[in-house]
Amino acid sequence: MKRYVAFVLLAAVLLSFTGCKKKQSESSSATNSSATSSQSTAASSSTAVQEVENILEGTVTQLTETTITVTVNGEKLIFSVKDVKQMPEGLSAGAKVILTYTGEIEGKNTGKAKLIAIDVDKKFTGGTTPSSSSSQAEKKNTITGVIVDASMHAVVLNVDGKELMFSYGSGNANVQINAPSGLSAGSEVKITYTGKISGTDASNCTILRIDETKAAPTAQTPSDTMNYISGKVYSVSTTALSILTDSNGQQIDFVLPGTAAIQVAGGLREGIRVTIAYTGEIKDNYDGTGCKVSSVTEN
C-alpha cells in the first residue's frame, strides 16, 4: 500500500513539473513574437518616413541622358534621372516641370534626394485655366534687345548691357516667331512674354512672340566698297591701264575688264586725266591688278 501511495505522489509531481515547463515555453514564445512584431513595425515606420514624397516646381535648364538641371527661384539643381521610370515626351530646355522626389535637398546639394517622377506643368501648356491669383503673372510684357546668341530652344538678348536668356522649349511650343532674316546674332527683336524677370534671370518667363524689329547689319568688306582714284593716263591697252596719281604721281596699274564702262570721248589715250571707280584693295600702293574696275571717266 505504501508503495502505491508513493507511486501516485511521484506521478503527481512529474505532471506538475511538465505543466510549468510548458507554460514557460509558451510565455517565452509569446514574448519573442511580440518583440519581433515590434521590430518589424518600427522598421516599417522608419521606411515610411524615408519614402515621403516631395514636390518641386521649376524650369528645365539642361537635360542629358543621366541628369536633369532645373532652375528653382534662381537656383540651379541637378538631379539624377536613373530612377525615373518614364520621361515626358518631348521634354527639353525651357519646359516648366513638376518633380516628385524622396529624401532631402540641402541648399543646392541633391545628393540625398531620389528623383522618381517628372511631369510637365500643365499651367504652362494650356492644360488648365490659370487661377485669378496668377492673373498678375499672366500679364503680357514686352522687351526689346539685340540677339547675342540663339538656338532651337533659347535666345540670349542684350538689353542695356545685360544679357537675358529666354527659353522656348516644349513648354513654349506655340511661340510665334516673325523674323524674316532669322534669329541671328546682331538682330534686334521684341519679345512678348508672361511672367517676371528677376535681375538677369528670365527662366520663369513664358515667351509668346518674337518679332524682328531690325535685321543684323551686313558687314561690308573692302571688296564690296566702291573706291575712286584720279590721275593722268600713263599707258593704256585693250586690257590694261596705268595712271600717275594726282596725289603723289605714283604709278598704279589696273586690269581693264570687258565689263568696265569707259566714259571717255575719243577713247582712252595717254596724257588725259581720268577718274577710275573700282572695288578691292590696291596692294603696296601701286598694284591695282587685283581690283575690279567698274568705270573710267574723263575729267
pLDDT in tens, 270-283: 999 999 998 888 88
Q: Which residues contact 116 (CB under 8 A, 6 or more apart)?
A: 53, 83, 84, 85, 100, 101, 102
CA distances from 254 to 208, 226, 244, 257 (A): 56, 15, 12, 9
pTM for this entry: 0.34
pLDDT of amino acid 8: 61
| pLDDT range class, residue 80, cuts 50, 70, 90 | very high
Q: Return d(Cα 239, Cα 68) in angstroms, integer.
A: 67
pLDDT tens for each residue of 193-214: 888 888 888 888 888 888 999 8
Mean per-residue pLDDT for 240-244? 91
Mean per-residue pLDDT for 148-154? 81
pLDDT of amino acid 169: 60
Mean per-residue pLDDT for 75-83? 90
Could you tell me the end-to-end alpha-carbon distance of the chain, in angstroms, rounded to an integer? 167
pLDDT of amino acid 222: 53
pLDDT of amino acid 146: 93
Q: Return d(Cα 165, Cα 151) in angstroms, integer.
A: 11
Report which of residues 100 and 174 the model is more confident about: 100
| All three cell numbers of 99 | 518633380
pLDDT of amino acid 50: 52
pLDDT of amino acid 267: 87
pLDDT tens for each residue of 40-72: 554 444 444 457 889 888 888 888 888 999 988
pLDDT of amino acid 94: 82
| All three cell numbers of 265 | 570721248
Answer whether residue 19 shows pLDDT above 90. no
What domains does the chain contain, in order, with CATH numbers? 53-124 (2.40.50.140), 132-214 (2.40.50.140), 226-298 (2.40.50.320)
Q: Return d(Cα 222, Cα 174) in angstroms, integer.
A: 43
Q: Return d(Cα 49, Cα 56) in angstroms, integer.
A: 18
| All three cell numbers of 150 | 540663339
Answer whether residue 136 shows pLDDT above 60. no
